[in-house]
Amino acid sequence: MFIDYAQIEVSSGKGGDGAVAFRREKFVPKGGPAGGNGGTGGSVIFETHPNLSTLLDFKYKRKYFADNGKAGANSLKDGKNGEDIIIKVPVGTIVKDAESNEILLDLSEPNKQTVFAKGGTGGKGNSNFATPTRRTPRFATDGKPAVYAKLILELKLIADVGLVGFPNAGKSTLISKISAAKPKIADYPFTTLEPNLGIVRYKDYQSFTVADIPGIIEGAHQGKGLGIKFLRHIERTKILLFLIDINSEDYQEDFNTLYNELKKYSKKLVDKKILVSFSKSDLVEDKEIKKILKTKIKKIKEPILVFSSATGFGLQALLDKLWETLNIQ
């Protein structure tokens, strides 16, 4: 199950209190202060794990609390430090404050640990406060408090190319042909109910990643269809490849609808490099393809790409163009 949103509670550990104690050995007539320091509380640490691809684990466990530091003891014994708690998340996870929705962390680098909340420092035992004029201090300090937070975790897939198109535009079929991804494919709308990420092997030992985003419809930015649930996943892509069914009655109108939905969701999306392709070329005559290749789409300077996932026509040219564009970004 693909889960890209979760709410959790986290807390670092409280620092242990310092101790008030004095030496009581039989042959030490003037025993001095001997209170140990409190231990440091455990920290809350996020770790990005490249083998994770969903926030599913957070559906079943929502509280992540680090251990408190132990209090200091007599004979100058310091308290034990609390254990850190390490929260493993997929690469591309964003951590937000649940109340303000402010972005606190953007965890986009693999195999990296990031401290979110440090544990409270331990209090000082009375042995730290002895001076020539104050030889028997009878006080110590408390450990620092824990840091508690309610957080929202959002996953944004990291891909080089994001596929954008209406339901049944051929996105799932394309990604199944150019990568090892095996999305569900059928002839009804919203076959794809979750994003698919595929690694495309390009020529000799080269590759790039493609994300198949579930179908966008008019009004997606307002929550219609599935679009708003998954539009976040194309925010990190370098290129957007629009797929338009070659049998469409109005190519420009289809493009405008898709373009405007992205723009209404986030203007940053339409600032990305956009390529336009017409899918399912096997459904038209060869002579028609020559005419279609001359089609001009407003706002797009690049030539239109035409391909068929069913026959393989135009796929290599499509991959070549994607690779070329990625390497000049």
Q: Which pLDDT tens digit goes with each residue over 212-258?
A: 877 665 554 455 444 456 677 778 889 999 999 999 989 999 999 99
Is the domain of 124 the same as that of 177? no
pLDDT at 219: 54
Calculate mean pLDDT across residues 43-59.
Answer: 91
Any idea what DSSP says for residue 56? T
The alpha carbon torsion through 222, 228, 231, 235 (nearest 10 deg) reads 60
Both structure tokens of 325? 């564009």
pLDDT at 234: 78
Counting residues of the chain whose pLDDT is more than 90, the rounded percentage is 56
DSSP secondary structure, 126-172, as one string? GGGG-BTTBSS-----PPPPP-EEEEEEEE----SEEEEE-TTSSHH
Any idea what DSSP says for residue 205? T
Is the domain of 199 the same as that of 281? yes
In this structure, which amino acid lies at residue 178?
A: I
Of 137, 155, 173, the position where a domain reaches its end is 155
Identify the domain containing residue 204 by its residue range. 161-326
Is the domain of 148 the same as that of 218? no
Is the domain of 256 the same as that of 147? no
Query: pLDDT by residue (tens digit) across 174-222?
Result: 988 998 766 554 454 444 456 777 889 998 788 999 988 776 655 544 5
Calculate mean pLDDT across residues 155-181.
Answer: 85
pLDDT at 133: 87
Is the domain of 132 the same as that of 14? yes
Calculate mean pLDDT across residues 29-57.
Answer: 90
Helix axes 315-326, 171-178, angle to 10 degrees: 80
Both structure tokens of 24? 């009581």
CB 161 within 8 A of CB 238: yes
Is the domain of 133 the same as that of 183? no
Query: pLDDT by residue (tens digit) across 128-150?
Result: 999 988 888 999 999 999 999 99
pLDDT at 232: 74
CATH of the domain at 45: 2.70.210.12
Is the domain of 214 the same as that of 76? no
Q: What's the CA angle centered on 180, arms 176 and 182, to 5 degrees?
A: 50
Q: Which of 130, 43, 127 is nearest to 87 (CA)?
A: 43
Q: Phi and psi dihedrals of 202, rounded to 5?
A: -120, 110
**Rounded CA gap, 160 and 197, in Å?**
10
pLDDT at 220: 46
**Rounded CA gap, 227 and 220, in Å?**
5
Is the domain of 26 the same as that of 151? yes
Is the domain of 142 the same as that of 167? no
Is the domain of 46 the same as that of 140? yes
More confident residue, 168 or 226: 168
Asked if pLDDT for residue 118 goes beyond 80, the answer is yes
Is the domain of 150 the same as that of 183? no
Least confident of 26-30, 117-121, 172-176, 309-313: 26-30
Of 136, 155, 174, the position where a domain reaches its end is 155
More confident residue, 234 or 124: 124
Of 88, 122, 155, the position where a domain reaches its end is 155
Asked if pLDDT for residue 28 goes beyond 90, the answer is no
Name the average pLDDT for the chain. 87
Calculate mean pLDDT across residues 63-90.
Answer: 96
More confident residue, 247 or 1: 247
Query: pLDDT by residue (tens digit) across 268-285?
Result: 889 999 999 999 999 888
CATH of the domain at 235: 3.40.50.300
Q: Which of 104, 101, 97 is nearest to 8 (CA)?
A: 97
Both structure tokens of 295? 């089609």
pLDDT at 215: 60
Calculate mean pLDDT across residues 76-105.
Answer: 95
pLDDT at 190: 42
Residues 6+ apart with CB under 8 A from 289: 281, 306
CB 129 within 8 A of CB 137: yes
**Rounded CA gap, 278 and 318, in Å?**
11
Calculate mean pLDDT across residues 39-58.
Answer: 93
CB 43 within 8 A of CB 119: yes
Is the sign of the CA dihedral 135, 136, 138, 141 positive or negative?
A: positive
